[in-house]
Amino acid sequence: MKPRENIIYGRKPLLDAITDGKRIDRILILKGLTGDEITKIKSASAQRGISIQFVPIEKIERVAGRPQGKEANHQGVIGFLSMVEYYSLDDVIHYAHEREEDPLLLILDGVTDVHNIGAIGRSAECFGVHGMIVPETGSAQINPEAIKASAGALTKINICREKSLVTAVKYLKAHGLKIFGADMHGAKAIAEVDFNTPCAIVMGAEGEGISEAILRLCDENIKIPMKGKTESLNVSVSAGVILYEAMKQRN
């Protein structure tokens, strides 16, 4: 397997990348691994807010693309270079206000498929979303595959990566944004919803939908009316339909 271009292998190369200010998305460290360089990696990562996962050797070897048991140069440490720049919620709200527009944000709760992330990002950029919010964990990585699926749109839209979506939603509500939860059992059809207001739209995971904690914070649950026998739409298709309706109203 050919090594992926967005991965850094080895302790010193990774430590150098962190201290040089490279944008690191996340780090995998072999469980139980110790040493001065590991301590420095942990410390430098904490200072820069880089997420670290402690994983078994099987995970390290799988990511490195090497069969277990063969000599590898990863030294129990793998870093993923960030393919996009991440912004704060304040940055995104300010970006909308600079354009003299009401903020329109998209929150992805548990969307784990990279192709869905890419397709959603493409729709979001096309339909004028000011920012897309994803959780630090429990979400698909924005990697080269996701960027390819987005036709490059993920590099053109403001993305926020938050430790807690619950905290992020509460923050947005406190700043005057209305939260719409996309739910197949929603009370209101999207054509009946007023998107001409500062708002954020929450899209949930395929099959599971929006988590209960987030659903409780939504101001309104909205749905896409459907006529056929198929139970639901793919999450990326749903996002595109809802965002088109929002753009149509705002135009």
* CATH H-level, domain 7-81: superfamily: Ribosomal protein L30/S12 (3.30.1330.30)
Note whether 7-81 and 89-250 share their fold: no
What's the CA gap between 163 and 51, in Å, rounded? Answer: 10
Question: What share of the chain has pLDDT > 70, as a percent?
Answer: 95
**What DSSP string runs through 62-82?**
HHHT--TTS--SSTTEEEEE-
Closest CA to 235 of 100, 131, 139: 139
What's the CA gap between 191 and 83, in Å, rounded? Answer: 36
- Per residue in 65-113, pLDDT (tens digit) is 754 444 458 899 999 988 888 999 999 999 999 999 999 999 999 999 9
pTM equals 0.83
Strands 24-30 and 77-81, sheet pairing: antiparallel
SS3 49: coil
Predicted local confidence at residue 72, as pLDDT: 53
What's the CA gap between 141 and 26, in Å, rounded? Answer: 10
In the CATH scheme, what architecture does the domain 89-250 have?
Answer: 3-Layer(aba) Sandwich (3.40)
- Per residue in 161-194, pLDDT (tens digit) is 999 999 999 999 999 999 999 988 767 999 999 9
Across 138-142, 152-156, 182-186, least confident range = 182-186
Q: Domain residue spans in the chain? A: 7-81, 89-250
Whose tokens are 């009316």? That residue is 225
Residue 245's identity, in one-letter code, is E
Binned at pLDDT 50, 70 and 90, residue 153 comes out as very high
B/e letters for 174-205, b = 16+ CB within 10 Å, e = fewer, are: eeebbbbbbbeebeeebeebebeebbbbbbbb
Predicted local confidence at residue 120, as pLDDT: 97
Predicted local confidence at residue 236, as pLDDT: 95
Closest CA to 142 of 169, 178, 111, 103: 111
Q: Give the angle 14-18-21 at the CA atoms, nearest 5°.
A: 140
Task: Note whether 219 and 99 are within 8 A (CB).
Answer: no
Mean pLDDT of the chain: 91
